[in-house]
Amino acid sequence: MPLVSNILSSSLGQKYLMALSGVGLFGFIVVHMLGNLTILAGPAAINEYAAKLHSMGPLLWIARIGLLGMVGVHIWAAVRLTRDNRKARSVQYQGAVDPVDRHRRSKIVSTYASRTMIYSGLIIAAFALFHIAHFTWKIPQINGVEVDFETFYVYEVSAGSDQVAYLTPLPDGVGKEGENAVDVYKMLTTGFKVWWVSIFYVIAVGLLCIHLSHGLSAMFQSLGLKTKAYEKWIDHFACATGWLLFAGYASVPVSILLGFIP
């Protein structure tokens, strides 16, 4: 198939794959943040949201496999492209960038975000792995507290005033993965009370948003959708989205650490 080989083996094709997998992952980033923010509406809201998400069954698995595939493609393309780029420019200039038109320096020097995409990306990938081990696999050895998140479950139905749906915890040892609703609220408030978990989280989402501030605008260029007419809008959109996502993500651990969310 010439089409497939033209995509896989050319630098432009790899850039397309990078951009398209980036679009998909960006979609996940947005939805995940909106989901996280349900915590601001109280414990019942986020627990119910999580239970609904888990009840999607096969759809959830399709989404997970799709995301994993996109992560794979994104990293594969990134590693190949970065390797080619390093090879293409193996000698650096000794002279510091100092154009005779001094005001043009900022146009010639690449942005911090664009130079560090591979590093921010790999750190985010490492964080994502920790994040999944922490809150999805709930490995007790890495959560930094004495309790096991695997024991946090809530009732899904209300029965009188002492059993409120998505609020009242199940007795210890009763809940079962896949059968009972997880007490996400308790897991987050317990998990993010650990200062280093929160700090790692904030640093990682900060890097993610720096990554996106370049990635979101470069994505348009790689797909041939950026022109001077829209350039400013696209760049402002990328920058603003980066900050909005940072605010949205960081607000959860920060609120928990500062005690705004009990």
Residue with tokens 């492209």: 81
CB of residue 220 to other proteins, shortest distance in Å: 8
Among 13, 35, 42, 206, binds other proteins (CB under 8 A): 13
Which is closer to other proteins, CB of 105 or CB of 236? 105
How many positions of this chain bind other proteins (CB under 8 A)?
53
Q: How many beta carbons lie within 10 A of that of residue 241, not counting itself?
A: 18
Which is closer to other proteins, CB of 150 or CB of 235? 235
Separation between Cα atoms, residue 116 and residue 64, nearest integer Å: 27
- 211 binds other proteins per the rule CB under 8 A: no
- 239 binds other proteins per the rule CB under 8 A: no
Rg (CA), the chain: 22
- 232 binds other proteins per the rule CB under 8 A: no
CB of residue 4 to other proteins, shortest distance in Å: 9
Give the orientation angle of helix 11-37 with respect to helix 2-9, to 10 degrees. 80
CB of residue 11 to other proteins, shortest distance in Å: 5
Q: What is the DSSP string of 23-43?
A: HHHHHHHHHHHHHHHGGGG-H
- For other proteins, what does the binding mask look like between residues 107 and 146, x meaning CB under 8 A? xxxxx--xx-x-----------------------------
- 95 binds other proteins per the rule CB under 8 A: yes
- 96 binds other proteins per the rule CB under 8 A: yes
Q: How many beta carbons lie within 10 A of that of residue 120, not counting itself?
A: 22
- 8 binds other proteins per the rule CB under 8 A: no
Options 29-37, 142-150, 212-220, 245-253: segment touching other proteins (CB under 8 A): 212-220
Q: Report how far apart, in Å, the C-alpha atoms of 194 and of each of 94, 140, 152 are.
A: 45, 13, 17
Which is closer to other proteins, CB of 108 or CB of 132? 108
- 20 binds other proteins per the rule CB under 8 A: no
- 104 binds other proteins per the rule CB under 8 A: yes
Which positions ≥6 away from 52 have C-beta within 8 Å?
none
Long-range contact set of residues 50-58: C-beta below 8 Å, sequence gap at least 24: 50/181, 50/182, 50/184, 51/156, 51/166, 51/181, 51/182, 54/178, 54/181, 54/182
Residue 70 three-state SS: helix
Give the footprint of other proteins on this chain (CB under 8 A).
Answer: 1-3, 6-7, 9-16, 81, 84-85, 87-101, 104-105, 107-111, 114-115, 117, 214, 217-218, 220-228
